[in-house]
Amino acid sequence: MQALAGIDDSEELSSVSGPRRVTVLGATGSIGRNTLDVIRHFSAREDFRVVALTGMANVELLAAQAIEFGAEIAVTADEEKYHALKAALAGTGIEVAAGSLALEEAASRPSDWVMAGIVGIAGLAPTLAAARAGGTIALANKECLVSAGDLFLAECASSGSAVLPVDSEHNAIFQVLEQNQRHAVERIILTASGGPFRDWPMARMADVTPQSAAAHPNWSMGMKISIDSATMFNKALEMIEARHLFAVEPGQIEVVIHPQSVIHSMVGYADGSVLAQMGSPDMRTAIGFALAWPRRAHVPVERLDFAKLSRLDFEAPDEQRFPALRLAREAMTAGGLAGAILNGAKEAALDAFIEGKIGFLDIARAVEDTLDHLGPGEEPDTLEAVFEADRSARETALKLMVA
């Protein structure tokens, strides 16, 4: 078949300069395992050299991944797991290291593409180390932007690191945001499944367990982000993430509940057009997009069958039952360190909920009380200020939860 003029229809992805170097931070997690799955699939057509793989408690899986992909170094963030990881990789020639400094060192090794797949604020320092090294950052970790927003993006810009959003909503927006029409963007519409308690009354939500909160109706994800979806704090973080990534005002960010998770998000333009990106709820599409970018390549996810779908539903979110969305809007308007405080308090409250110390509805209460107590603070000009705000938000949230 004749190729269209100017369009190269070969499936070859690699550049002429040899294998592409990739690093996966958080390789043992949900995003990390999906990333390695996509790399495995792409490897049929492109050569990769895996530089660093990192994890934490599950060193058996990390060792198996490092062996399968021939990683240069495997790092566990947990220093106590060093010997177990070392033993599992004995005789392989793969370097082994442990602890947070080792994690940053591995993240800063020259790499062309780095998946930022560590969960929570723990991902900020290693992702930043990777960004400073100048490789492309496939950003799944949303906390980097929620807590350190403009500072993080400024570091990426100064090292020439491209940031490709992997969070499915932001990846969708990235795909439909016409770069030469930025002036005509009216609104960003983030879709939300609504989580497992979408239509539950408040009284019933008060008694839910971490297990039922972690059971997401559509997506298979790590435990913390799944519970964040149930409180809608995940969407709250995503509103702040969108504000930084796409440089829009808080009033331009809308959230709509869309229980089927088929439309991953939308951009509304000045002429009334709304562009949406759709697909099966499978993170490998967003990960594959980021790995193939700026081209597209085959990813083995289930295809949408529109005849089977039959309907797509939409409704406004209920901010009485899900105050997280209001808190995000308030934090964006307040500016300063409010994003870092919101996230730090949320992480502390989420841990307390997982440990059975507080109830489900107490999570939002703890975040709101912490924001009220600390105020937004000044716009940070150093990362230390961000880490300090995170620390004091955790401390304050813990104190207020006990009180």
106 binds ligand NAD (CB under 6 A): no
Binding of residue 141 to ligand NAD (CB under 6 A): yes
Inter-residue contact 176 to 376 (CB < 8 Å) = no
Q: Which is nearer to ligand NAD, 103 or 401 (CB)?
A: 103
Partner touching 28 among ligand NAD, Mg ion, none, CB below 5 to 8 Å by kind: ligand NAD
- The tokens describing 219, both together, are 């997506």
Point out which span in 112-120, 328-336, 339-347, 352-360 binds ligand NAD (CB under 6 A). Answer: 112-120
Per-residue x/- mask for ligand NAD, residues 15 to 54, rule CB under 6 A?
A: -----------xxxxxxx----------------------
Q: What secondary structure does DSSP assign to 74-143, as a single string?
A: EEES-GGGHHHHHHHTTTS--EEEESHHHHHHHHTS--SEEEE---SGGGHHHHHHHHHHT-EEEE---H
The answer to whether 282 contacts Mg ion (rule: CB under 5 A) is: no
Alpha helix locations (H) across 272-361?
283-292, 306-309, 324-334, 338-354
Q: How far from the centroid of its chain's Cα atoms is residue 308's Cα?
A: 30
Which of 52, 145, 221, 232: binder of ligand NAD (CB under 6 A)? 221
Residue spans of alpha helices (H) in 251-305:
283-292
Binder among 189, 283, 361, 363 for ligand NAD (CB under 6 A): 283
Q: Does 137 bind ligand NAD (CB under 6 A)?
A: no
Whether the Cβ atoms of residue 357 and residue 327 lie closer than 8 Å to each other: no
C-alpha dist (Å) from residue 379 to 156, 332, 368, 385, 396: 18, 12, 19, 9, 20
Among 48, 111, 117, 284, binds ligand NAD (CB under 6 A): 117
140 touches ligand NAD by CB under 6 A: yes
Which of residues 39, 50, 208, 225 is near ligand NAD by CB under 6 A?
225
Q: Identify the CA nearest to 37 among candidates 69, 15, 77, 74.
A: 69
- What character string, x for contact with Mg ion (CB under 5 A) and - otherwise, covers 153-182? --------------xxx-------------
- Binding segment (CB under 6 A) for ligand NAD, from list 12-20, 119-127, 316-324, 379-387: 119-127
How many residues bind ligand NAD (CB under 6 A)? The answer is: 26
E-strand stretches of 221-313: 253-257, 263-269, 274-278
Residue 106, both tokens:
């591995």
Residue 244 in the binding site for ligand NAD (CB under 6 A): no
Cis peptide before 317 (omega within 30 of 0): no
Binding residues for Mg ion, rule: CB under 5 A, are 167-169
> Which residues are at the interface with ligand NAD (CB under 6 A)?
26-32, 55-56, 77, 117-119, 122-123, 140-143, 167, 219, 221-222, 224-225, 283
